[in-house]
């Protein structure tokens, strides 16, 4: 098929490269000239495993190209995917200005049997509104086709989806999108646009709910002396609950979960439905970051004048994305409370520096830990498990590790002589502070 993908962000660029890999001719439209040039010259603008190779393959094979001209490309495409961003507006609602800009441009096209599929996460009702608007020009059949890719494993997720959701009132759009995604072998859920839009929000909100739930349980485990790992295992073995998204720690971040929960809560308020659970999910998530910084402060007997190493800045492993990263928010709070921070991230240091120029980032994780009063593990990078912790023990001023991600390193670190705090467990190892403070935590 001749396909146009609008937006070369995480979703758009992955979609474009993967559809080209499936043998389609894909033109990806990016309006930001710097980004467009970088991609054309062979650079992937963000860290995403497997994507640079697919981009090269698609471009060299002549199936994938990039342009800044939307209308021209859309005119000759059978399917146009809109994959532009929908960030949070002032009250948490989704800001649809980028989607509207695309629809405005497409409304200039008349009389064609093209499909417009909205990949961008849009509030319930948006797809039908766009369809009504474009119906006048008879240029497009409109569908909502939500995306479920995760950053850091987007390519893998594209080729092994759990489901394809198509929400449309157009038989032609349903048939063409089904034909496009059926080869991937996932169940196809064909429905109306509001239902498809709701599936996307509900899925992200549910994942966020699981995370906030386990964080609340973890906080409780710390006080009652229950072992969170076993509690989580006990939950996960029940197929009605499942083992996923039960990793406790400093909470969820990124460009999707926080934004989508806020947008769903705002949508609920618009319809006078009180979003009690969604608000609680956000509150627990915010409190996890505060709680973590408070904990470090008490452990160190104050933050002013102390030095801490922050290992990990991206919102999760596998990406250089620092949008709404809990790690970066924590680093910022530590700085604000007078601590010196020495940070490291295998790929996100540059992005972090742009957001937080005051943050000193080191290329070498060992250097980041030198003469520090505590080492904080804030992103679950596998690299940190493989560090030589014996060497780190020699470098630090005080052997304290506060694990914000439940990396499972505690036993090993205790053997190396560290005192370790991980979510859902009391302090382990020998702790170099007063009995009074220790008691507060156990
Ligand atoms: C999320 C969804 O998982 C995707 O299905 C969806 O397509 C995407 O949003 C989107 O809407 O575009 P993503 O933002 O890439 O994907 O990140 P996740 O892997 O879901 O992780 C989100 C956050 O939750 C991260 O900060 C992660 O560290 C945290 N998390 C995840 C936990 O704290 N505990 C867990 O058990 C799992």
Radius of gyration of the chain (CA): 24
From the alpha carbon of 10, which atom of ligand 1 is closest?
12
Give, using CA atoms, the residue closest to atom 37 of ligand 1. 245
Longest Cα–Cα distance of the chain, Å, equals 77
Which residues of the chain register pLDDT less than 70? Answer: 432-442
In short, whether 312's Cβ falls inside 6 Å of ligand 1 is: no
User: Under a CB-based contact definition with an 8 Å cutoff, are residues 196 and 213 in contact?
Assistant: no
Give, using CA atoms, the residue closest to atom 1 of ligand 1. 150
Mutation to probe ligand 1, out of 12, 150, 313, 345 (largest number of atoms < 8 A from CB): 150
In short, whether 254's Cβ falls inside 6 Å of ligand 1 is: yes
Query: Would residue 256 show up in a list of annotated catalytic residues for this protein?
Result: yes
Give, using CA atoms, the residue closest to atom 29 of ligand 1. 252
In a 13 Å sphere around the CA of 82, the CA atoms on its Cβ side amount to 29
Report pLDDT for 429: 87
Mutation to probe ligand 1, out of 147, 207, 244, 403 (largest number of atoms < 8 A from CB): 207
* Segment 378-395, tens digit of pLDDT: 999 999 999 999 999 999
Report pLDDT for 89: 86
Closest-CA residue to 115 (of 173, 170, 196):
173
From the alpha carbon of 379, which atom of ligand 1 is closest?
28
Mutation to probe ligand 1, out of 316, 323, 380 (largest number of atoms < 8 A from CB): 316
Report pLDDT for 441: 46
To the nearest 10°, report the CA torsion of 385, 388, 394, 398. Answer: 0
In short, whether 165's Cβ falls inside 6 Å of ligand 1 is: no
User: Pick the catalytic residue: 18, 28, 82, 256?
Assistant: 256
Q: Is 371 left (phi over 0), alpha (psi -120 to 50) or beta?
A: left
Q: Which residues contact 294 (CB under 8 A, 6 or more apart)?
A: none
In short, whether 211's Cβ falls inside 6 Å of ligand 1 is: yes
Report pLDDT for 43: 94
Report pLDDT for 174: 98
Distance from the CA of 315 to the center of ligand 1, in angstroms? 9
Task: Please state, in angstroms and rounded to a whole number, the distance separating the CA atoms of residues 2 and 435.
Answer: 69
User: Under a CB-based contact definition with an 8 Å cutoff, are residues 194 and 167 in contact?
Assistant: yes
From the alpha carbon of 246, which atom of ligand 1 is closest?
36
For residue 173, give the 3-state DSSP assignment: helix
In a 13 Å sphere around the CA of 85, the CA atoms on its Cβ side amount to 13
Report pLDDT for 93: 86
* Segment 69-90, tens digit of pLDDT: 999 999 999 999 999 999 888 8
Closest-CA residue to 205 (of 151, 152, 160, 266):
266
User: Under a CB-based contact definition with an 8 Å cutoff, are residues 323 and 315 in contact?
Assistant: yes
CB atoms inside a 10 Å sphere around CB 230: 11
Give, using CA atoms, the residue closest to atom 16 of ligand 1. 150
In short, whether 205's Cβ falls inside 6 Å of ligand 1 is: no
Task: Please state, in angstroms and rounded to a whole number, the distance separating the CA atoms of residues 252 and 236.
Answer: 19
């Amino acid at each position: 098929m001749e396909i146009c993908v609008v937006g070369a962000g995480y979703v758009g660029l992955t979609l474009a490269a993967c559809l080209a890999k499936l043998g389609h001719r894909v033109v990806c439209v990016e309006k930001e000239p710097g980004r467009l040039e970088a991609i054309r010259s062979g650079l992937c603008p963000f860290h995403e495993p497997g994507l640079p190779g697919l981009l090269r393959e698609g471009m060299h094979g002549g199936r994938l190209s990039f342009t800044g001209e939307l209308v021209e490309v859309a005119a000759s495409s059978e399917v146009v995917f809109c994959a532009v961003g929908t960030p949070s507006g002032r009250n948490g609602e989704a800001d649809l200005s980028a989607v509207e800009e695309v629809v405005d441009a497409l409304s200039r096209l008349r009389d064609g049997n093209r499909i417009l599929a909205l990949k961008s996460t849009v509030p319930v009702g948006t797809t039908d509104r766009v369809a009504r608007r474009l119906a006048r020009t008879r240029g497009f059949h409109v569908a909502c086709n939500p995306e479920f890719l995760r950053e850091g494993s987007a390519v893998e997720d594209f080729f092994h989806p759990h489901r394809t959701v198509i929400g449309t009132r157009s038989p032609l759009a349903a048939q063409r999108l089904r034909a496009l995604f059926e080869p991937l072998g996932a169940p196809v859920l064909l429905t109306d646009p509001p239902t498809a839009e709701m599936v996307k929000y509900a899925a992200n909100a549910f994942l966020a709910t699981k995370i906030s739930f386990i964080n609340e349980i973890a906080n409780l485990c710390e006080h009652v002396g229950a072992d969170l790992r076993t509690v989580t295992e006990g939950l996960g073995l029940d197929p009605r609950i499942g083992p996923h998204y039960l990793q406790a720690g400093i909470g969820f971040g990124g460009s999707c979960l926080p934004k989508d929960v806020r947008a769903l809560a705002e949508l609920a308020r618009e319809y006078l439905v009180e979003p009690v659970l969604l608000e609680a999910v956000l509150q627990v998530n915010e409190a996890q970051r505060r709680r973590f910084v408070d904990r470090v402060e008490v452990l160190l007997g104050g933050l002013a004048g102390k030095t801490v190493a922050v290992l990990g800045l991206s919102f999760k492993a596998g990406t250089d994305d620092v949008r709404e990263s809990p790690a970066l928010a924590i680093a910022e709070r530590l700085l604000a409370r007078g601590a010196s921070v020495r940070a490291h991230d295998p790929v996100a240091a540059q992005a972090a520096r742009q957001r937080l120029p005051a943050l000193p980032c080191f290329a070498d994780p060992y250097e980041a830990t030198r003469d520090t009063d505590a080492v904080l593990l804030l992103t679950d990078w596998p690299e940190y498990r493989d560090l030589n912790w014996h060497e780190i023990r020699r470098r630090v001023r005080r052997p304290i590790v506060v694990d914000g991600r439940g990396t499972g390193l505690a036993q090993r670190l205790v053997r190396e002589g560290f005192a370790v705090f991980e979510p859902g467990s009391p302090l382990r190892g020998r702790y170099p502070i007063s009995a009074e403070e220790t008691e507060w935590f156990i």
